[in-house]
Amino acid sequence: MDSATSDRAALQATADNGLKIVVVGGFGVGKTTMVRSVSEIRPLNTEETMTRAGEAVDDLDGVHSKTSTTVAFDFGRITLDERSVLYLFGAPGQERFWFLWDRLFSGTLGAVVLVDTRRLADSWYAIDRLEHHGTPFIVACNDFGGSFHTEQQIREALDLSPDVPLVECDARDRSSSKYVLITLVEHLYALSVARSKGADAALAGSPAPAATMTPEPTT
Amino acid sequence: MTSVPRPRPGRDDAPDRLYTLTGGRSRSDSAAFDLVTLVVAECEPNPGMQSEHVAILRMCDSPTAVVEISATLKLPVSIVRIMLCDLLDTGRISARHPRTARVADRLPDTDTLEQVLVGLRNL
């Protein structure tokens, strides 16, 4: 216990706001590598279990067979300033993981879908689920030195909407991983600006002209 | 590096241990603790306390996220949440919950995002 706590860099006493970003991807795609390359602590690993009552989770009347769902994930940490700390979670995109999404990752800023261009189909399910949960995300292709794909080929293979940013990266490289995170947060920023403009226009009672719904071309 | 399988928290433990830690209870209010809620100890551990409670209080000498407590104690997040509720009830810890609403996956405000961008660019 003592050894576990002593190599843990303590947060500043003023830290009071935790933030989350999730890196989703299949096994071996480099999630932990990316978390490690930007984290200020050695990535830690933990687990959540949940007992679900069959399919009808909220049904209090019936007796259902219970199934236990267990999901392991790892995480790292980035101190942003004296009050805010960003936690970066590496999570497997497998089916059972999504049962725990609301419980673990609601309130997350957004997600990075990390893909291996040699195994693009592995990411379909994660992209589908993120869209379903309404979580904004970007796609980052980890460079494994596979054969060259154009951006258009990758977008088509992933059936990716044109407004979802797609970047290449080397998850082992700190500045490359940092760039991925910045791209995600810039994307979130553009979405947030666009949404608040839309809301303002709606409040003013005037139909929002198409131009005000478009994010400013800041990037 | 991660090729040596390490026992996962919870899974290989005797179920009795997890049952004993929480008295077999579940608590609906434990959902208030987010993965990234920062926990701060408000007292010193007492000699008679449950060893996990002692460990939490020692760890939370400085603010510590729920998920870091879970990883360090090698216990599932849900078990840690229940223990934190007990410690909160008795005033032994305080909790700094995230300011980002967790009710829905809605977009955070631009001020928050700007702060995050500044922090990331300064890395």
Condensed to tens digits (0 to 9), the pLDDT of residues A171-204 reads 999 999 999 999 999 999 999 998 888 777 776 7
Contact present, A25 and A125 (Cβ < 8 Å): no
Helix, strand, or coil here: B48?
Answer: coil
| Chain B residues near residue A50 by CB distance under 8 angstroms | 78
- Which of B111, B113, B118, B122 has the most A C-beta neighbours within 10 Å, making it the best mutation to test the interface with A? B113
In this structure, what DSSP letter does residue B12 have? T
d(CA B105, CA A124): 20
- The encoded tokens of residue A1 equal 């216990």
Q: A109, B100: Cβ pair inside 8 Å? A: yes
Which value does ipTM take for this structure?
0.84
Q: Which of A85, A178, A188 lies closest to B108 in CB terms?
A: A188
- The encoded tokens of residue A53 equal 């009552």
Residue A5 in contact with partner chain B when CB distance is under 8 A: yes
Q: Which domains does chain B have, with CATH numbers?
A: 15-121 (1.10.10.10)
Q: Which of B62, B102, B107 lies closest to A195 in CB terms?
A: B107
- The encoded tokens of residue B69 equal 């407590």
Q: A17, B116: Cβ pair inside 8 Å? A: no
Residue A43 in contact with partner chain B when CB distance is under 8 A: no
Q: A104, B101: Cβ pair inside 8 Å? A: no
Condensed to tens digits (0 to 9), the pLDDT of residues B3-62 reads 555 555 555 555 666 777 777 777 777 778 999 999 999 999 998 999 999 999 999 999
Condensed to tens digits (0 to 9), the pLDDT of residues B52-83 reads 999 999 999 999 999 999 999 999 999 999 99
Q: Which domains does chain A have, with CATH numbers?
A: 2-171 (3.40.50.300)
Contact present, B65 and A85 (Cβ < 8 Å): yes
Q: B100, A84: Cβ pair inside 8 Å? A: no
